Amino acid sequence: MAGLSCKNSIIFGLTFGLFGATAFRLPAQESLPPDLVKQIKQAVVTIKTFDQNGVNLMSGSGFFVGARQIITCEHTLKRADSIEVKLANGRFHPVLRQPPERLGADLVLLEVEMAETQVEPLTFAEALPLEGERIYVVGSPLGLEPSVSTGIVGAFQTLAEFGELKVMQIDAAVSPGCSGGPVVNRQGEVIGVANSRLFKQDEKVSFAVPIIKLAAALGLKKPQPSLRLTPLSETLDSLAMENAHYAWGWHYLFESDKDYQKALSYFEKAIEEDPEHANARFFIGYCQFHLARYQEAVETFGKLIQIEPDSVDAYIIMGLAYGQLGQRDKQIEIFKQAIQANPISAKGHYYLGSAYESMGRDGDAVEALKQAIAIDPAYAQAHYLLGLVYMKLQRPEAAFKVYRILKEIDSDLAQKLLEAIGE
């Protein structure tokens, strides 16, 4: 079982969890584009609460505003002893057992136990909608799968429950289970949080809590919807030149046949226009890595980390580049720095475990991979590699236990592990 460095798994991980803000808006229209609806639903969760005996108390909705942070309505958590969230992929993740951060206006911020790159957070509008403007509510009515309802903003009302804060009166239905779901505008930007506690069914009137000021107070960034949601030709005319270069780089990287050289040239032009363009610098290093220009990638990510010291992805690809250069000790050091930047990054621990395995430090690999799985129990790649390392350590029973867990997460990887166990 020697030489199970799983480089294919590592390279696969490079394409997972890429992020980058692009300055594009969708044209106004009555219905949301299907791609945008899909993107929004990916960030919306169904929240389930349980008492100390594990009995389901209530269902609600919520949405990601950060790597693991979810906003929802506080009243949906009443009397809860434990909380789980169901993601769009059908998997459940527990909420950290700590008091939720109260934000006021019946809103709370929860932290979910999961890898930080699984879901792209929703973005926020910079201004409240006008009366008569069309809005869209996304939530999980009665605990069912997230759905979209539409309506308009009727007025901004003062209600006793919220003091001086004026809430949005909307005519889109906010039925039980939808509390905590996002209310978005035509660009897919969050403008409020639905609150079914205020729903007046007889009058067909619903309410949503405006979140613009709250988003600013929390320091939540406002990247725009991805370029992939609208054709490139429809956006370039209105962009500043550095953003146009970035847009073309993105196009050649993700919308065509992955022409890394062409994409690189445009990202470099974007940096010439704006040396602080962190996303462009990230993709420069990303392209350099895939073009086997590993030393240049190391230098690029080194500069990026000075700008974005908490960028786990930058540390990881930098570490992978060091691995390709044969500098294994340096690779280990960089992966440890990734974990220091975010100690609960499952991905950071996974890549550290992978590096240990490639150096023959299998005991250390096991501990790092176990840590990755503890942070994200559904991390299929970590389970798979852990099973392979157990086989190297001649521990087939332990490997088979991993297989039984993995088959519930990823049947294809589980089958590959089973074949390795049988060899």
pLDDT at 399: 92
Topology agreement, domain 34-111 and domain 134-218: yes
Backbone phi, psi, residue 407, to 5°? -65, -20
Residue among 416, 379, 418, 413 at smallest CA distance from 401? 418
| Distance (Å, whole) CA 264 – CA 285 | 9
| Distance (Å, whole) CA 168 – CA 144 | 25
pLDDT at 240: 42
pLDDT at 63: 93
Residue among 37, 237, 283, 247 at smallest CA distance from 145? 37
pLDDT at 28: 36
Backbone phi, psi, residue 33, to 5°? -60, 145
pLDDT at 351: 93
Its pTM surpasses 0.75 = no
* C-alpha distance from residue 230 to each of 43, 336, 340, 416 (Å): 19, 39, 37, 38
pLDDT at 393: 94
List pLDDT tens digits, range 62-98: 999 888 889 998 888 888 888 998 888 888 888 886 6
pLDDT at 401: 94
Residue among 224, 228, 170 at smallest CA distance from 199? 170
What homologous superfamily does CATH list for 134-218? Trypsin-like serine proteases (2.40.10.10)
Q: What would the 3-class secondary structure string for 376-415 be?
A: CCCCHHHHHHHHHHHHHCCCHHHHHHHHHHHCCCCHHHHH
The two three-digit tokens of residue 63, written as one number: 């949405």
Residue among 213, 257, 32, 4 at smallest CA distance from 125? 213
What homologous superfamily does CATH list for 7-18+225-422? Tetratricopeptide repeat domain (1.25.40.10)
CA 268 to chain CA mean position, Å: 26
pLDDT at 257: 63
What single string gives the DSSP state of each residue in 171-206?
Answer: -S---TT-TT-EEE-TTS-EEEEEEEEEEETTTTEE
Residue among 181, 204, 206, 177 at smallest CA distance from 193? 181
Residue among 208, 75, 230, 229 at smallest CA distance from 138? 208
CB atoms within 10 A of CB 45: 28
Domain chopping of the chain, boundaries: 7-18+225-422, 34-111, 134-218
The CATH number given to 34-111 is: 2.40.10.10
| 3-state DSSP assignment of residue 153 | strand
pLDDT at 289: 93
Residues 6+ apart with CB under 8 A from 233: none
**How does pLDDT run along the chain (423 residues), one tens digit per residue?**
433 434 333 333 443 333 333 333 333 335 677 778 888 999 999 999 888 878 888 888 999 988 888 999 888 888 888 899 888 888 888 888 667 788 878 888 888 888 765 678 888 887 788 888 888 999 888 777 788 888 888 888 887 777 777 888 888 877 778 889 999 988 888 999 988 766 554 445 688 888 876 665 555 544 433 333 333 333 333 344 446 787 788 777 765 567 889 989 999 998 888 888 888 898 899 999 999 999 999 999 999 998 888 888 899 999 999 999 999 999 999 999 999 988 888 889 999 999 999 999 999 999 999 999 998 888 888 999 999 999 999 999 999 999 999 988 888 888 999 998 886
* Residue that the structure tokens 């911020």 belong to: 109
- In terms of phi and psi (left: phi > 0; alpha: psi -120 to 50; beta: otherwise), the region of 250 is alpha
